[in-house]
């Protein structure tokens, strides 16, 4: 009987606790339990966000979307946050080119959760969710071979062109975003009925989905700023998906040929080039985009004649004859050497020591990765006029790098990434000035925090790029960008 009474008392206590629990609170996952975040804290955080598109407001709809992001769909949000490392650099570059606010990049979170393959129930496709008529209106090709709504670069250009037009029409971003979602016709009718161009005043005259679109954008902005406070951990993709380069292709080119000549796995080519339906790039007089990891692109460019265009993009012209081994041009009168990988060697040091590129070594040895194993045999081709074999583990070894009729090495300074060679080409004053500049170089150590990516770390230091971090710290995998690890940053 006592146990029954205790059980009843416990149930009554829980009921009373639930009844008096503040209704206006937001559950946020922390570890294996849910904690409560008050609406006042959410309001305070929103008030601190400087957004040049929409002034963040706290409404029931905004609260509902934040709860969806932080509680209901945590796995999907963590994957989406990881993809920011792929797409935000592209968005930032194009937004700056168009002269638009950088905060517009959060709109793609609402549209597609940064998934280039996203397809809505109504048939909208891609990062920016274009319907076929609108996509074609803004220059995107959609046919049996290609769907450029999935092309990150082309679809982003089309979306920014459309958004620019809508902003010029309405004069404020709230209505421009609503029109992007529901169409200008629906917004025009709502403006006419509400006799106002204030989104918050006319939203009741809009369809339900469009009515919630701006609140969803505010919630996406919030989660992009405060995901760490909700214990959301981005799932970043491998570094080869983050560090990419794009060229323009005008002639037909198959994915299989790209894979064979550059050593790029097929799944990487398909992921980075989602707009092509049949695993080949069709001929296109306007040019089609090919995106590859940067190291693979260096190999690709060495196999094709790629002239610069006025837009600083690239056009693939005549193919350089290449056998199954994708050969870089072997130096004339070269010497073939066999090199055995020693303890502490890496491909960058070997390339520096033998005055060739990493792409050369990978081509000559059919390597698909930059990782080397102790005892591995490498083939290296050296020009007789460049240098003789040196010990890679002794980077201060002085060697003749050029014929004596030109110049010779006087001083070799070991830097964290490469060997900096100061040549005796000028006066003593010129040499002294170089030494002084070298002494001013300063490095700082950054301890990687939970949720940080190379993109977010680089943004914290003025003048530092993702490439700087990769090269200085020899990052070749996502494992090198883990919480608690330290990386070196060169201050500029």
Which H or E run includes 28? strand 25-30
Residue 263 Ramachandran class (φ > 0 left, ψ -120 to 50 alpha, else beta): left
Sign of the Cα pseudo-torsion (222, 228, 234, 238, in order): positive
Residues in the chain: 492
User: Which residues carry out catalysis?
Assistant: 111
Spatial contact of 377 and 361, defined as CB atoms under 8 Å apart: no
Backbone angles phi, psi at 407, to 5 degrees: -145, 170
In whole angstroms, what is the distance from residue 300 CA to residue 359 CA? 10
Spatial contact of 61 and 214, defined as CB atoms under 8 Å apart: no
Locate tokens 């004339």: which residue? 332
Q: Buried b / exposed e across 424-437, counting CB within 10 Å, b at 16+?
A: eeeeeeebeeeeee
Spatial contact of 455 and 102, defined as CB atoms under 8 Å apart: no
Q: How many CB atoms lie within 10 A of CB 285?
A: 5
């Amino acid at each position: 009987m006592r146990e029954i009474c205790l059980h009843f008392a416990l149930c009554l206590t829980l009921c009373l606790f639930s009844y008096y629990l503040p209704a206006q609170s937001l559950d946020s996952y922390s570890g294996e339990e849910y904690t409560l975040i008050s609406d006042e804290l959410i309001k305070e955080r929103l008030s601190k966000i400087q957004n040049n598109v929409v002034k963040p407001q706290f409404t029931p709809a905004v609260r509902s979307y934040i709860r969806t992001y932080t509680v209901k769909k945590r796995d999907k949000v963590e994957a989406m946050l990881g993809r920011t490392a792929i797409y935000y650099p592209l968005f930032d570059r194009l937004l700056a080119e168009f002269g638009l606010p950088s905060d517009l990049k959060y709109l793609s979170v609402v549209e597609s959760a940064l998934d280039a393959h996203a397809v809505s129930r109504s048939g909208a496709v891609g990062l920016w969710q274009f319907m076929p008529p609108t996509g074609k209106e803004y220059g995107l090709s959609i046919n049996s071979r290609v769907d450029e709504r999935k092309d990150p670069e082309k679809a982003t250009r089309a979306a920014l062109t459309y958004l620019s037009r809508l902003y010029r029409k309405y004069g404020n971003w709230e209505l421009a975003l609503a029109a992007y979602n529901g169409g200008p016709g629906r917004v025009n009718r709502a403006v006419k009925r509400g006799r106002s161009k204030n989104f918050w005043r006319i939203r009741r005259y809009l369809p339900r989905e469009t009515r919630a679109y701006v609140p969803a954008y505010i919630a996406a902005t919030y989660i992009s700023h405060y995901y760490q406070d909700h214990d959301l951990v981005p799932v970043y993709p491998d570094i080869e998906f983050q560090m990419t380069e794009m060229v323009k292709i005008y002639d037909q080119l198959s994915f299989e040929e790209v894979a064979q000549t550059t050593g790029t796995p097929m799944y990487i080519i398909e992921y980075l080039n989602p707009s092509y339906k049949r695993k080949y790039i069709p001929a296109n007089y306007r040019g089609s985009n090919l995106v590859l990891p940067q190291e693979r692109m260096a190999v690709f460019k060495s196999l094709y004649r790629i002239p610069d265009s006025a837009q600083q993009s690239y056009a693939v012209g005549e193919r350089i004859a290449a056998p199954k081994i994708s050969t870089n041009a072997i130096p004339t009168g070269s010497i073939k050497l066999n090199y055995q990988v020693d303890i502490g060697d890496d491909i960058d040091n070997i390339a520096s020591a033998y005055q060739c590129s990493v792409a050369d070594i990978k081509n000559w040895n059919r390597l698909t990765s930059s990782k080397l194993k102790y005892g591995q045999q490498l083939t290296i081709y050296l020009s007789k006029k460049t240098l003789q074999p040196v010990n890679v583990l002794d980077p201060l070894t002085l060697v003749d790098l050029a014929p004596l009729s030109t110049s010779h090495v006087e001083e070799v300074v070991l830097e964290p990434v490469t060997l900096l060679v100061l040549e005796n080409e000028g006066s003593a004053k010129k040499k002294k000035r170089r030494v002084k500049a070298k002494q001013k170089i300063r490095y700082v150590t950054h301890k990687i925090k939970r949720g940080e990516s190379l993109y977010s770390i680089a943004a914290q230091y003025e003048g530092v790029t993702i490439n700087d971090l990769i090269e200085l710290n020899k990052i070749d995998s996502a494992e090198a960008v883990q919480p608690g690890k330290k990386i070196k940053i060169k201050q500029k």
